[in-house]
Amino acid sequence: MQFTDRQKDKIQYMITKGEKMHTIAREVGGTCTWQDIQEFCWATGAMSWQGSKTMISNRLKRFKTATKQPEREQLAREIDQSVSYLYYCAKEMRKRILGVEEALDKTK
């Protein structure tokens, strides 16, 4: 499926927000399915939080049995990238939460 630039931005925003793929597909609308969202994520390198957690878990399992140093180093880099991604997403979510809290405080 071809996405407009606006749809791409929306998908990436919702992915970093931690939304599930079927929710994003429903929000994008039209004939979009969660498989379309998944393909987009694979093509762009974007990853859902759940996908990051699964990837980290799988890499950690493989790390225990990896016998060659280059393989362990590659796994460590992949784990580091996923952890950094989750940290970035959590940091962005914290900023949004603070913004909402400030807005609520102003209404009191």
The predicted-structure confidence for 83-103, as pLDDT tens digits, reads as follows 888 888 788 888 888 888 998
The predicted-structure confidence for 8-60, as pLDDT tens digits, reads as follows 999 988 888 888 888 999 998 888 898 898 888 878 877 777 778 888 899 99
Domain extents for the chain? 5-44, 49-107
- Who wins on pLDDT, 74 or 52? 74
Q: Which two tokens stand for residue 50?
A: 């759940």
Q: What is the spatial distance between Cα 56 and Cα 58, in angstroms, rounded to a whole number?
A: 5
Name the nearest CA neighbour of 49 among 78, 77, 21, 8: 21
pLDDT at 68 over 90: yes
Mean pLDDT of 59-69: 91
Q: What is the spatial distance between Cα 55 and Cα 84, in angstroms, rounded to a whole number?
A: 13
The model scores a pTM over 0.75: no
Q: What is the pLDDT of residue 84?
A: 87
- What distance lies between CA 99 and its chain's CA centroid? 21
